[in-house]
Amino acid sequence: MSRIKSWTDTPSKPHFVPPQGAVDSHCHVFGPQALYPFSPKAKYIPEDAGADDLVTLRDHLGLSRNVIVQASCHGFDNSATLAAIAACGQDRARGVAVVDPDISDAELKALHEGGMRGVRFNFLKRLVDHAPKDKFLEIAHRIAPLGWHVVVYFEADLLEELTPFLEAIPTTVVIDHLGRPDIGQGPDGTDITAFKALMDAHPNFWTKVSGAERLSLQGPPFDDFVDVIAPIVARYPDRVLWGTDWPHPNMQHDIPDDGRLVDILPRLAPGDDLLRKLLIDNPMRLYWPEEVDG
Ligand code: 0GY
């Protein structure tokens, strides 16, 4: 398998200046392979994208903190993500782990000490071979006492089938990239309507209003994405997160300019109040609760 370079080394400087303390709540690191080899089961093998590059990007974009989500190419071995959290410092980075269902309590505790605050369940067949719901629920019950939450990644065609499983999760549930709706259906389309019904019915469900570069049919400046997703931010202001998704796993065409992804923010969340919730208050509650008053 040849290694994929899925990001640009020369992102533009955003025109939009994020508020001080803004969190990139969805990004990843890859390797470096020499230190942290990729999983034999990886569905793609990326070029190295480690903590130094992430910090350079964070500062370039005017962001303050990162939530580093374990990428599928590293399987159940969270060492690369933990090393990146340590390199950034836990005041600047926290993480979301992917764990073997047979993980021990001691290993979960070590992940917590290393800055993990959630676990991710991935249902994309092109990324993982197995997504055992019964095992995932066992894990969800075991991480609940740590104060962690569950992150789920699925596509819109699975929403209905997965709903009973999602409802059985005892923690906050964060849905990656809005469950990947078909943006081309517009703001009242079937996919986003079903997604809103799910969010309306479950106050413990949150979502990441990220993935414009994957979901938009039009590309920059992502007007179609903004038309469909800005109403979601307005409807659930206290249950939304945003992230760059750098280094954009698996993307091989139309590699996004991260500066332009940041430039969507004032249109996704118009006004200081919404922006502050999306970029600071909401992620701080999930990832740095010890810094949140009350
Ligand atoms: C994402 C996207 C993807 C990949 C992964 O863990 C992963 O490998 O998350 C994808 O290919 O859609 O946004 O994190």
Query: What is the tens place of the pLDDT at every residue in 235-255?
Result: 999 999 999 999 999 999 999
Q: Supply the pLDDT for residue 108.
A: 98
Candidates 287, 285, 243; CA nearest to 18 is 243
Distance CA 39, CA 11 (A): 29
Give the model's confidence band at 167: pLDDT under 50 very low, under 70 low, under 90 confident, else very high. very high
Q: What does the pLDDT look like over 189-213, one tens digit per residue? A: 999 999 999 999 999 999 999 999 9
Inter-residue contact 170 to 156 (CB < 8 Å)? no
**What does pLDDT average to over the chain?**
97
Q: 245 an active-site residue?
A: yes
Q: Supply the pLDDT for residue 132.
A: 96
In this structure, the residue with its CA closest to atom 4 of ligand 1 is 249
Distance CA 152, CA 136 (A): 10
Pick the catalytic residue from 24, 245, 258, 263. Answer: 245
Ligand 1, residues at Cβ distance < 6 Å: 71-73, 127, 177, 245, 249-250
Residue 245 alpha carbon, nearest atom of ligand 1? 13
Helical packing angle, 159-167 and 133-143, nearest 10°:
40
Task: Name residue 96's beta-bridge partners.
Answer: 69, 118
Q: How many of the other CB atoms lie within 10 Å of CB of 177?
A: 20
Give me ligand 1 centre to Cα 267, in Å.
24
Residue listed under structure tokens 């502050």:
276
In 128-281, where does DSSP find H-type helix? 133-143, 159-167, 190-201, 212-215, 223-235, 258-262, 265-268, 272-276
| pTM, to two decimals | 0.98
Residue 71 alpha carbon, nearest atom of ligand 1? 6
Q: What does the pLDDT look like over 110-147, one tens digit per residue? A: 999 999 999 999 999 999 999 999 999 999 999 999 99
Give me ligand 1 centre to Cα 26, in Å.
10
Q: Supply the pLDDT for residue 294.
A: 59
Residue listed under structure tokens 């919730």:
277
Statement: residue 293 has pLDDT above 80: no
Give the model's confidence band at 1: pLDDT under 50 very low, under 70 low, under 90 confident, else very high. confident
